[in-house]
Homo-oligomer: A and B are copies of this chain.
Amino acid sequence: MPEVIALGEALVEVMRPGKGIPLDRPSVFLGPYPSGAPAIFADAVARLGMSSGFIGCVGADPFGRCLTDRLQADGVDASRVEVVTDAATGVAFVGYDEEGGRQFVFHIAGAAAGRLGPEHVDAGYIQGARWLHITGSSLAVSERMRDACYKAVEFATQAGLMISFDPNLRAELMDPDDVRRLVEPVLTHASIVLPSGAEARLLAGEESDDAACWALLERGVQIVALKRGAAGSAIFARGERIEVPGFQVSEVDPTGAGDCYAAGLAVALLQGLDVVQAARFANAVGALAVTQQGPMEGAPMQEDVARLLST
């Protein structure tokens, strides 16, 4: 039984190799790269040497094989990944404009990924673990996937698992009240929340990042890990705010860095590190994640993290 479980959208990414190549004209793409925020998290946990499991759906096609082969090769329990025969594996196309802003075309909700529903979540599997991870992106895919996440949170809460929540919402596309309503059943039970500044402000309805993080703590979250990209992270816990600086690396592809950071924090806390050490470990995991093309490609092993931490 895996110690850490994630569920949600499994997909492959097909991406432009550089900035300023629009998606509406023929050019070069690279892919398929295994992706999907919760799948990246599960994979990164396994690479760090802790047992993890992923619950989701892929198609009976080469992209589905690409995903399940990768998860299994990295040691993720993929026994709960359903291979559906009447829909193709989810795909996200990603391009970058000249300023590095991202442009997307998604085939997710209508694809195999969107088939994940509450029937895929069983109490025994969840309650045999120690940690459950939920990403906000999964809550926005479909009502069925949202219900699957809520059900997993319910089982995890009953059994006293740690629950981490990465808001990871393209919040600019949604009404703030809708976002808060979607997120509420997860946020109420989350032990750890890992927002960006913008996500924290949106969730808490506050004007500053810090005020928002304090407000999240006040509503019962134990640790708020404010993700600050290359600058590292700030930990809000037990009445303290601790700045944890990032690592200088050469960035190739930032996709998946937040999911890898979350995986690092979960693994480090489960291994008994205190929260500041754990955040430093997670910063190192996130930093290494951006050094390779592809969302999962840079997810590091324990020894890679140890090497970066010792420099």
Nearest chain-B residue to A293 (Cβ)? B26
CB of A146 to closest CB in B, whole Å:
17
Total chain A interface residues with beta-carbon distance under 8 A: 33
CB of A196 to closest CB in B, whole Å:
25
Nearest chain-B residue to A33 (Cβ)? B26
Q: Is the CB of B26 within 8 A of A32?
A: yes
* A271-305 with Cβ < 8 A to chain B: 294
Q: Is the CB of B66 within 8 A of A25?
A: yes
**Considering the chains assembled together, what is the distance between the CA atoms of A111 and B87 in angstroms?**
11
Q: Is the CB of A29 within 8 A of B26?
A: no
Contact of A23 among B25, B62, B87 (CB under 8 A): B62
Residue A252 interfacial (CB < 8 Å): no
**Considering the chains assembled together, what is the distance between the CA atoms of A14 and B105 in angstroms?**
13
Interface set of A (CB-CB < 8 Å, partner B): 14, 22-33, 59, 61-63, 65-66, 69, 87-89, 91, 93, 95, 103, 105-107, 110-111, 294
Closest 8 CB pairs of A and B: A110-B110, A23-B62, A24-B62, A29-B29, A107-B107, A24-B66, A24-B65, A61-B105
